[in-house]
Amino acid sequence: MHRLDGEDAHQFAHLVEHYMEQTRGLAGIMQPDPNIHRVVPVSGATKQEWILPYDDVKAFLEGANSFHLIDCVCRKQHNLVSEEQCAFPMPTCLNFSISERPESPSTITRAEALAFLDSVEEIGLVHTVSNVGKGISYVCNCCGCCCGILRGITDFGLTDSVAQANYHATIAEDRCTGCGRCVKRCQVAAVRLSAGLAVVDAEQCIGCGLCVTACPTKAATLQLKPEDKIVPPPMDMGEWVTRRKRSRGLS
């Protein structure tokens, strides 16, 4: 694989950005069902008894034997085309495999991988994974300013550019102090202050839980969606491909 650097990387990044703008955030790729990526709530944001088998981010690492932490390509692209550099760290893509892979500069241990997930939750990044129930091999940790998928929401108005978690955030008015921490933490601008209180846009909310873990008064909570609104991911990549082809009229 050829690695772009210098002027080549700069030009390619601008071409990608131009393509994003021309296609309204890759609408033709991001919107067909099932979505490419799915949001997974941060640890501790939901009641343990509500956690669905495909929503436990740390459980994905069980059975894996090699772990690698690599740079976020979306953040790299953003920093090449934007005058305002992203404040979040560059290496935030966690890859893992059941196979033993040769060590490299990106290799980390299982303990380091688990600690890394805690650290990105603390700084306020959204966990997204491949939209399947089994066979997940990476966790992206995304910000709304750089992520090519979350930007579908923040920049292009595609509220269905990512499969939302099966939870939605709510704010208890009697506990909310209007501190604004949830507003700052939300990567898709789904929370705003109105009359001194936090208000959640239910259509925009992706159920990541970052507002919950930041709330000092526990006013923000994640609630499990009604049963008729819960959408489990395709069982595996085979089912994903079959459903995707069908939704695009290709089967």
Q: How confident is the prediction along the chain (251 residues), in pLDDT tens digits per residue?
A: 456 567 888 899 999 999 999 999 999 999 999 999 999 999 989 888 778 888 999 999 998 999 999 999 999 999 999 999 999 999 999 999 999 888 999 999 999 999 999 999 999 999 999 999 999 999 999 999 999 999 999 999 999 999 999 999 999 999 999 999 999 999 999 999 999 999 999 999 999 999 999 999 999 999 999 999 999 999 999 999 999 999 999 97
Per-residue tokens: 123:
């700084």
The pLDDT of residue 202 is: 92
224 domain-assigned? no
For residue 216, being part of any structural domain is answered with no
Residue 17 lies in a domain: yes
Q: Which own/partner pairs from 186-192 qualify as long-range (CB within 8 Å, at least 24 positions apart)?
A: 186/144, 186/210, 186/211, 187/124, 187/125, 187/126, 187/142, 187/143, 187/144, 187/147, 187/150, 187/154, 188/126, 188/144, 188/150, 188/153, 188/154, 189/144, 189/153, 189/154
Tokens (6 digits) for 117: 């997930």
Q: At CB < 8 A and 24+ separation, what contacts does 71-77 make?
A: 72/140, 72/141, 72/142, 72/146, 74/142, 74/146, 74/147, 74/148, 75/143, 75/146, 76/13, 77/13, 77/16, 77/17, 77/146, 77/148
User: What pLDDT is attached to residue 92?
Assistant: 98
Q: Which domain holds residue 127?
A: 6-166
Q: What pLDDT score was predicted for residue 4?
A: 59
Residue in the structure block whose two tokens are 């060590």: 103
At residue 9, the pLDDT reads: 87
What local confidence, expressed as pLDDT, does residue 5 receive? Answer: 66
Q: 120 φ, ψ to 5°?
A: -75, -30
Tell whether 103 is covered by a domain: yes
Evaluate whether residue 199 is within a structural domain: no
pLDDT of residue 52: 80
Cβ(211)–Cβ(182) below 8 Å = yes
Residue 172 inside a domain? The answer is no
- Split into its structural domains, the chain has a count of 1
pTM of the model as a whole: 0.94
What's the pLDDT at 48? 80
Q: Is residue 227 part of a domain?
A: no
What is the distance between the alpha carbons of residues 219 and 216, in angstroms, rounded to a whole number?
A: 8
Residue 49 confidence (pLDDT): 79
Residue 204 lies in a domain: no
Reported as type and span, the H/E element at residue 166 is none
